[in-house]
Amino acid sequence: MPLVDFFCETCSKPWLVGWWDQFKRMLNRELTHLSEMSRSGNQVSEYISTTFLDKQNEVEIPLPTMKDGEKQQASWQRPSQQPPPPGPQFQPMSQITGVKKLTHSSSLTDCSIPRFGVKTDQEDLLAQELENLNKWGLNIFRVSDYAGGRSLSCIMYAIFQERDLLKKFRIPVDTMVTYMLTLEDHYHQDVAYHNSLHAADVLQSTHVLLATPALDAVFTDQEILAALFAAAIHDVDHPGVSNQFLINTNSELALMYNDESVLENHHLAVGFKLLQEDNCDIFQNLSKRQRQSLRKMVIDMVLATDMSKHMTLLADLKTMVETKKVTSSGVLLLDNYSDRIQVLRNMVHCADLSNPTKPLELYRQWTDRIMAEFFQQGDRERERGMEISPMCDKHTASVEKSQVGFIDYIVHPLWETWADLVHPDAQEILDTLEDNRDWYYSAIQQSPSPPPEEDPGGPGHPSPHDKFQFELTLEEEEEEGAASSALGAFEVQELSTAQYAFPPEEVLEDDGQDTSAEVEEVEEMSLTQQADSVASGQDESTSPDASMDPVVCRNPPESLPLPALRTPPTPEEAPGLLGLPSMVAEVGAQKEHQAARRACCACTGTTSENPPTLPSPGGWESAGDPI
């Protein structure tokens, strides 16, 4: 490939550097705009910024303004909620915490080891489920049920047998079973998400990704062993809270690892420490050089699961995609260790972020689990008088918006780049991801918004009814539609992607003005229209429109277009970056939305030039219009 292809023709900067700078600027702009839209939008934006961006890629998110009443309440509540100062700790810092003494090996012999490494009275059902071991979307929840809660041990044993790793590395079967049972016991079952079930899912996903045709025969047996071992131990002894929580609470782990990848370092320490337990060293027959090499690779891969390293991993993967070389048979050519370990790092990272790419019924279960864990952390922070972390406040977090933002800004760019690397092997996975994103986007409009903490009208001024909020919103949209048609191209430049990706949480914004007069005007207009229709001599019993309310649209469009990730880029008009909705797609969605609304208004017998204000019938809300 000519060297000039790597440089921009206008600024002479390396092309990939220019792409990465553009991506960061765009992400900064989108997250900032998203944070200004609503309280839940601010939470999603802050969560993405604090979780997936390292210090070099921080995005400044404006903090939500705190009302005077909230400030006063916080000022007198916080001191009483401060936890007492911790007492002296005499435990030596060099000791690895979380390791328990267990005795799994005393009753194990080669003859007594079950077929799938775990004791179960539903072996036939388990065998039937494990027929999908090599397929994407294995139902790990059913595997856990049939394996007596030992999903990690079962999956680990089945994969090692499937790949013949026990024979290749001379791993004694009883040692293998002892280690994986001990490892699973060090995952906390009272943690909603980061437990052995998640580890089993990541392990099985890594196993499938290793078998992708584009990576056929690329990795050595030792590299495969390291990747599977890393996936199995990557969250062991997870306490169910984030790195930032441990840092903010001055935990022993944060002090031990100097606030750097605290949990990831701890998972590695526990995973390797367990190899020293009785009959647990599954690498006992590896040479010293092999053990050192394997340990280095495992450390590299598990540290890459620190979500703050996400953007760096994505940039490296994008670079590899743009410079990749393939053989005549379409297999990736990774002829040096640096390239292979980079792919393995991203592979385990993709497996760790694979929940949104699984069938919807599985994805929704994972979503319920991660949100439950977030809310438990939020409750602990509230009890301590700490600031509640983004997406951890069960009173204000929007589950649907969080998943749409998570996919748009994190998961889709990653998986889209991975799909480019192994093209066309991951296209089906990418399609499932986009379908799931559309499902959660449509669910945003049907889920209730978190209740406001204060009445917008203040004491003595009840908030307007939902119907009138919708009426006023339609009037505002008509004015905006007329203005947008006059501005033309200016709208294409200024329209923000996040405006339609996240419908506003509050339909009627209260700027401190009394809305009661406007509500009365709307009511008076509705009554006047009804009186006019009666005075004109219309007989409701014989009129063909007798069943139709004169100001209510009874036949709204069944569905409204949604802005989708799969919108093909339009040439010459700001196509947007890969993995994120383009501005052109959003303008088109807005125009289609206005057309649908005019068609809806036409059924009342009025012209689209002066459509009546429409109340909010149930059929319209369920059709998907953002309210």
486's tokens = 């006059």
Asked about 266 being catalytic, the answer comes back as: no
Which amino acid appears at position 143 of this protein? V
User: DSSP secondary-structure letter at 7?
Assistant: B
How many angstroms from the chain centroid is the CA of residue 357?
Answer: 10
User: DSSP secondary-structure letter at 451?
Assistant: P
- Coil/strand/helix, residue 326: strand
CB contact at 8 A, 450 and 396: yes
CA distances from 513 to 216, 461, 470, 516 (A): 66, 11, 18, 9
Q: Which helix (H) or strand (E) holds 46?
A: helix 39-52
Catalytic residue (choose from 194, 198, 207, 412)? 194
Q: How many residues would you count in the chain?
A: 627
Q: Taking the chain, what is the end-to-end CA distance rounded to the nearest angstrom? A: 52
- Coil/strand/helix, residue 76: helix
List alpha helices for 61-169, DSSP H.
68-81, 123-129, 140-146, 151-162, 165-168
Whole-number Å distance between alpha carbons of 550 and 565: 39
Around 405, how many Cα atoms within 13 Å sit in the side-chain half-sphere? 32
Closest CA to 241 of 202, 274, 192: 192
Q: What is the 3-state secondary structure (H, E, C) of 562-605?
A: CCCCCCCCCCCCCCCCCCCCCHHHHHHHHHHHHHHHHHHHHCCC
28's tokens = 């900064």
CB contact at 8 A, 93 and 180: no
Whole-number Å distance between alpha carbons of 490 and 528: 39
Q: Which helix (H) or strand (E) holds 477?
A: helix 466-487
CB contact at 8 A, 281 and 274: no
595's tokens = 């057309």
The string of DSSP letters for 521-568 reads HHHHHHHHHHHHHHHTT--TTT-TTTTS-TT--SS--S------TTPP
Active site residues: 194
